[in-house]
Amino acid sequence: MTIESVNAALQKYCSDDVPDLIDCMNFGFHTSISKCIQMFLSAQDNIRRGRQITIETLNRAIADLDTVVDKQKYLEYFETTFTIPKKIKFEPHKGDEVSTVNAQVLIRDEMQSRFIQMQNRLAGLKTENDE
């Protein structure tokens, strides 16, 4: 064999045979990678759309909040709990005719101060609730 024939064989091998061998061994590597990346991008797009739908749903829920309507529905749902009870009437026991309760001065003063405190607290709670 001459050097020229060896060089020609190497030239043919490197220029013709090696690319053919690589093509045979490829088995669609680039196609597989391409499809894998496309699948990843599609999944990311679906996640983005899902998050956008969630954001829109939450924004609608926030816009639909209405304390007055919610309170009314709550009161209607628990109507038996929140109905105004009948007025309490004095019912004498064994012929008792006293219809008022008399308390001693100290007890009455303490009850009156507690009543005022409760009224103030109730007014504060009403103000907080209205805000």
- For the chain, the structural domain boundaries read 1-65
* Residue 21, pLDDT score: 80
- Which residue in this structure is represented by tokens 């091998």? 13
Helices and strands counted in the chain (H then E): 6, 0
The whole-model pTM stands at 0.41
Let me know the angle formed at the C-alpha of 19 by 16 and 21, rounded to the nearest 5 degrees. Answer: 105
Backbone angles phi, psi at 64, to 5 degrees: -85, -5
In tens digits, the chain (131 residues) has pLDDT values of 688 888 888 888 888 888 888 877 777 778 888 999 999 999 999 999 999 999 999 999 999 999 999 999 999 999 988 888 888 776 767 777 765 666 677 787 888 899 999 999 999 998 888 87
26: tokens are 């490829």
